[in-house]
Amino acid sequence: MKDVDIIVPIYNAYDYTVECIKSILNTTDLNKNTLVLINDKSPDEKILPMLYNFKNENQDKKIVVIENEQNMGFVKTVNRGMSYSSNDVILLNSDTEVTKNWIEKLQDAAYSNPFVATVTPLTNNGTICSVPNFGVDNELPKNMNLESYAEMIEKISKSRYPELTTGNGFCLYIKRNVIDELGLFDDVTFGKGYGEENDFCYRALDHGYTNILCDNTFIYHKGTQSFKKENLTETRAALIESHMKLLREKHPIYVQKTDNFIANNPLRDIQENIDINIKLYGKRRILYLVNEWEENMEMTGGTSLHIKDLIEKNLESKIASFVLAPDKFDLTRFKLYLYTEGCSREIANFKTDIQNYGQINYTNQTYEKMIKTIFDSFKIDILHVHHFLFQTFDAIYEAKKRGIYSIITLHDLYMSCPSINMVYKDKFCEVDKDKDCSKCLNLRYGVNSDILANWRKTCKNVLEKFDRIIVPSENTKKQYNKVYKDLQIEVVEHGVKLIETKANLEKSQKDTFDIAFVGAMAIHKGSNILKSLIKECNNPKIKIHLFGKSEDESLHQNQSNYIFHGKYKRGELPQLLIDNNIDLVCMFTPWPETYSYTLTECYMAKIPVLAFDIGAVGDRIKQDKLGWTIEYPQDTKRIISKIEEIMQNKEEYAKIRKEFENYKFKTIEEMQNYYEDLYKIVPEKEGKDVADMYLLKDFARQTMEIDFMQYMALYGHVVHRYEKMRASKLWKIAKKVKAFLKGK
């Protein structure tokens, strides 16, 4: 490697200069390279003695101190240093701190191509070379020191050495042969600083050279007391503006290229890779798989709400949460979200060729590649599956290959039957004597075979690969153990945030018995029973309400005994029930639900619940003594009779209302603490595992080609015909006629 002279122009800024020189001494071979310290007549009398102290204390090292007899300004001072040297030079501001192996890495970049003129490293404060945020002053990350930050940047770099239109003078490596050919900085035009390094780099472009970024090296630039700023006699803004005008006049093409560079930011991949690694540094990483996900979680399913609650705790526990979910508008597209300190957003979007409409998918090649890429890009520690619906089983197989700790939470009966809730027509299939599994699955997935036995065999094999299987209720455990007798399942009840409510003082004035259905009304939630009740209930004292949405449009219309209230946001239901004087909530789900957040919210309103005696809902009501259950299945007349019985037995009703005073909710904190302890089974990171956003982005870009190929498959013939038409003589004649007429 060639000898390098490090030129540090100095004007005041005593403390920063001391830190700069110390960092050079700690990281640089000054037996081989030379440190040239030039004092530009600093008014601070401490500067010169300090420089000589460093020289005298390090006599075994090559340190040169040069004194300007009068203040020459930044550009002339730099030129003096470059004239003193006969080697390659590094121009280094005195308000910087260098890092390990910086010279070696800059020189490797400089000689990666014979036509490289200048090399600039990454920094926190260096316009187009700034990271993680482009073009602004960045603070050092709070979660690491300068040494560990620079080490991380080197570790994650691909050493791509992207081209720059211009380097940056805070730290600029310049080859000696380029200085000999181009000459020194233009100290006549840019004597007061700002623009001189741009002019030099633009002249290098004129001579056929290139300027590059050393993307594996980070130099800290404080940027608040730099040499240039100390010497300004005009305001900084005015000086920059005047020198930019000079640059535009002298190098109009290159200035425009720099403007385009800033506008398009071709360094985005580098910046994002660094940014994501800052956010993930030292954190455990969990990938959640879910069947639906929305950033606005006000109205969504219980599974997604549960994951949101886990993520809230993860943010406090040095855990980075990734969520992979299908796009609800295009189930072949998957979105990856990241939730950690400073990040709560979608970070990637993938297109697969998976067929989620009417098909059973155990595996899929593009999905498999996607999950591999996510695991390998982010060094995932824990896979926590909350649903395989719309996804494939490839995730668990790839996790096992990588030794990733795996958890699955079973929120419904999907892993027992692909019908999800095991409702045949409108009844739980276990009590439906007329059930026909083949017909049911044919209607749902279009399959023409009896696949249930194979489905369960496959699912058992998949479930056995997980390190932990969790369900939210004892009833769910019983349902799965009916099918998979030897499966080890743990029950962990969901915790909830307690919602404060206000009493409705108008309740005593009403003379009706108001019953409510709540949540998303579909067949598997009891919409047929609700419709039947509205039709058959002739008791004028009973008024029926629906709080929530429905897939049946007829339930959106008010009737004499029925009021539709529409959607509500998470946390609003308890107060809505109170404000509307609801006396009883009906939950006639025709399958064994696994938990039901809605039931818990009804409890928060202190309103009794009537439900079928199946599933977690039936079990909870019987155990908690906060309502009534009725045998499942049951006809509408019997349900109406039960409601009337509850309405008439005021003493029993009052007794159940009183039971709410003693009920203790499982809090969200209790649940979160359980999962925090569970996730600790994987040790904390020590900054060793780095993320690779290049790998992720390259794969995401490849998946976009699928879209293009699909487009061409559908419309390629149209494009071909259009291009053929444009190439015809008639088209060319028409263009000439059009141009002639336009000219007239």
**Distance between CA atoms of 283 and 241, rounded to whole angstroms?**
44
pLDDT value, residue 506:
67
What average pLDDT does this structure show over 74-100?
A: 97
Residue identified by tokens 């950033």 is 295
Query: Could you tell me the pTM of the whole model?
Result: 0.88
Distance from the Cα of residue 620 to its chain's centroid: 37
If you ran DSSP here, which 8-state letter would residue 737 be given?
H
Return the closest-CA partner of residue 588 out of 650, 544, 543. 544
Pairing of strands 427-428, 423-424: antiparallel
Q: Quickly list H helices, 116-226.
A: 146-156, 176-182, 196-206
pLDDT value, residue 738:
64
Helix axes 196-206, 74-84, angle to 10 degrees: 50
189 vs 388, more confident: 388
**Distance between CA atoms of 75 and 88, rounded to whole angstroms?**
18
pLDDT value, residue 709:
47
**Distance between CA atoms of 519 and 527, rounded to whole angstroms?**
11
Helices then strands, counting H and E runs in the chain, come out as 26, 25
3-state secondary structure of 564: strand
Q: Are 4-276 and 282-491 in the same CATH fold? A: no
Question: 502-530 pLDDT, tens per residue?
Answer: 988 765 678 899 999 999 899 889 999 99
Q: How far, CA to CA in Å, does 53 sit from each of 18, 56, 60, 70? A: 11, 5, 13, 22
What average pLDDT does this structure show over 534-563?
A: 94
Pairing of strands 542-547, 513-518: parallel
Q: How far, CA to CA in Å, does 165 sit from each of 119, 128, 257? A: 11, 10, 7
pLDDT value, residue 229:
45
Whether the per-residue pLDDT at 566 is higher than 50: the answer is yes
CB-neighbour burial class of residue 743 (10 A; exposed 0-12, middle 13-18, buried 19+): exposed
Question: 687-696 pLDDT, tens per residue?
Answer: 778 999 999 9
Instruction: Show the 3-state SS of 653-682.
Output: HHHHHHHHHHCCCCEHHHHHHHHHHHHCCC
Contact 20, 10 (CB under 8 A): no
**Distance between CA atoms of 497 and 668, rounded to whole angstroms?**
5
pLDDT value, residue 235:
65
What average pLDDT does this structure show over 63-88?
A: 96
Question: 406-437 pLDDT, tens per residue?
Answer: 999 999 999 999 989 988 877 888 887 788 88
Question: 6-40 pLDDT, tens per residue?
Answer: 999 999 999 999 999 999 999 999 999 999 999 99
Q: Work out the pLDDT band at 444, boundaries 50, 70, 90.
A: confident
Per-residue buried b or exposed e for 89-113, using 16+ beta carbons within 10 Å of the residue's own CB: bbbbbbbbbbbbbbbebbbbbbeee
3-state secondary structure of 288: strand
3-state secondary structure of 520: coil
**Distance between CA atoms of 131 and 267, rounded to whole angstroms?**
10
**Distance between CA atoms of 290 and 285, rounded to whole angstroms?**
16
Which string of DSSP letters, residue by residue, matches 584-646?
EEEE--SS--S--HHHHHHHHTT--EEEESSHHHHHHHHHHTSEEEE-SS--HHHHHHHHHHH
Residue identified by tokens 């008010």 is 558
CATH H superfamily, domain 4-276: Spore Coat Polysaccharide Biosynthesis Protein SpsA; Chain A (3.90.550.10)
pLDDT value, residue 192:
72
- pLDDT above 90 covers a percentage of the chain that reads 76
Contact 347, 443 (CB under 8 A): no
Which string of DSSP letters, residue by residue, matches 38-98?
EE---S-TTHHHHHHHHHHHTTTS-EEEEE-SS---HHHHHHHHHHH--SEEEEE-TTEE-
Q: Which residues pair with 531 in a beta bridge?
A: none
Whether the per-residue pLDDT at 723 is higher than 60: the answer is no
Question: 454-495 pLDDT, tens per residue?
Answer: 999 999 999 999 999 999 999 999 999 999 998 999 999 999
Q: How crowded is residue 311: how many other Cβ atoms within 10 Å of its Cβ? A: 22
What average pLDDT does this structure show over 364-369?
A: 95
pLDDT value, residue 89:
98
* Residue boundaries of the structural domains of the chain: 4-276, 282-491, 507-665, 699-743
What average pLDDT does this structure show over 634-653?
A: 96
CATH no. for 507-665: 3.40.50.2000
Residue identified by tokens 């982010």 is 378
pLDDT value, residue 707:
52
Contact 58, 33 (CB under 8 A): no
CATH 3.40.50.2000 fits 282-491, yes or no: yes
The pLDDT mean for the chain works out to: 90
